[in-house]
């Protein structure tokens, strides 16, 4: 986006550009603005080209993206129409990615005291977070959410990449209170893993009333944290459309929340035998 503005300012596109020049720039712009309706007039004015030429460019990009599974290009006709890029992850690519991730998480060196699993390095890996975000975005896009919500801190990279793929704002629930953010709403909740009573809060300015939201987090055991976020969002009259979880545990079977979508299932962590059993969730 910045490149395009600078190019216009410097008069780079004073004359008509060839198709070989237009297509890379259109592609770059679409990738940087996923799930956003972009008028074809924007490109016709920018490139000083006819709308028919831009339409052919978009058709070529759509065909290539479709052939190689790079995403979906949708065109909407009419005066208010345009083009939309929807990120997609092919089934085979998703399976291979989750298999690799499960293999990395199966490393016995990740076992922490108490039977917990060390995941921080992978959650904060930009490439891992981006792919997870694209998978969540593909799953939730048809629900038409308006905001992506998570709780600090390890869920932030995954939620941020999900918000980026959906082109939506990210709302971060605070673990505790923040006196520097003005008036806020707080709720107490019971952590499903430690069974401790904790507090989470959200500033009133962060989320408009009656918003449609999805929740994204890195890990779920009993679902206490997710249930706490749902209770907090209820105070904002928000509609929770679904919950995306990177890893959930096989036990307890009965979670405190039902409407969630997980990518990996942690079956067992054996501290004595130094073994981790984790597998992708088949959907």
- pLDDT tens digits along 239-273: 999 999 999 999 999 999 998 999 999 999 999 99
- With 50 as the cut, is the pLDDT of residue 25 above it? yes
Confidence (pLDDT) at 107: 96
The CA distance from 88 to 178, in Å, is 37
Confidence (pLDDT) at 178: 62
The CA distance from 269 to 273, in Å, is 9
Q: 């198709």: which residue's tokens?
A: 19
- With 90 as the cut, is the pLDDT of residue 15 above it? no
Find out if CATH 3.40.50.12500 is the number for domain 91-280.
no
- Give per-residue pLDDT as tens, 138-164: 999 999 999 999 999 899 999 999 999
Q: Identify the CATH class of 2-86.
A: mainly alpha
Whether 91-280 and 2-86 are alike in CATH topology: the answer is no
Angle between helices 126-140 and 156-166 (to 10 degrees): 50
| Residues 187 and 235 sit within 8 Å (Cβ to Cβ) | yes
| Residues 40 and 83 sit within 8 Å (Cβ to Cβ) | yes
Confidence (pLDDT) at 228: 95
Confidence class for position 176, pLDDT limits 50, 70, 90: confident
- Give per-residue pLDDT as tens, 68-121: 988 999 999 887 789 999 999 999 999 999 999 999 999 999 999 877 899 999
Supply the mean pLDDT for the chain: 90
DSSP letter assigned to residue 196 = -
Region 178-197: mean pLDDT is 78
Which residue(s) pair with 126 in the sheet? none
Region 208-219: mean pLDDT is 98
Of the candidates 108, 105, 97, the one whose C-alpha atom is nearest the C-alpha of residue 121 is 105
- pTM of the predicted model, to two decimals? 0.89
The residue ranges of every structural domain in the chain are 2-86, 91-280
């Amino acid at each position: 986006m910045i490149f395009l503005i600078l190019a216009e300012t410097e008069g780079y596109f004073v004359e008509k550009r060839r198709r070989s020049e237009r297509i890379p720039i259109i592609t770059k712009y679409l990738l940087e603005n996923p799930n956003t309706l972009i008028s074809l007039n924007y490109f016709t004015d920018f490139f000083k080209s006819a709308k028919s030429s831009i339409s052919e460019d978009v058709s070529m990009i759509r065909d290539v993206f479709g052939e190689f599974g790079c995403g979906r290009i949708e065109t909407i006709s009419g005066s208010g129409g345009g083009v939309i890029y929807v990120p997609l992850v092919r089934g085979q690519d998703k399976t291979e990615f989750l298999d690799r991730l499960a293999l990395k998480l199966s490393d016995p060196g990740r076992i922490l005291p108490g039977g917990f699993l060390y995941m921080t390095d992978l959650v904060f890996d930009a490439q891992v977070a981006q792919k997870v975000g694209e998978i969540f975005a593909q799953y939730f896009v048809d629900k038409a959410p308006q905001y992506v919500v998570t709780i600090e801190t390890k869920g932030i990279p995954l939620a941020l990449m999900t918000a980026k793929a959906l082109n939506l704002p990210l709302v971060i629930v605070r673990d505790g209170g923040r006196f520097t953010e003005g008036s806020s709403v707080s709720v107490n909740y019971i952590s499903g893993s430690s069974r401790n009573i904790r507090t989470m809060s959200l500033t009133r300015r962060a989320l408009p009333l009656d918003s449609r939201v999805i929740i994204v987090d890195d890990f779920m055991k009993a679902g206490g944290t997710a249930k706490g976020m749902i209770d907090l969002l209820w105070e904002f009259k928000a509609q929770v459309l679904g919950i995306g979880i990177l890893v959930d545990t096989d036990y307890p079977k009965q979670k405190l929340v039902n409407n969630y979508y997980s990518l990996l299932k942690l079956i067992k962590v054996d501290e004595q035998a130094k073994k981790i059993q984790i597998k992708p969730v088949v959907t």
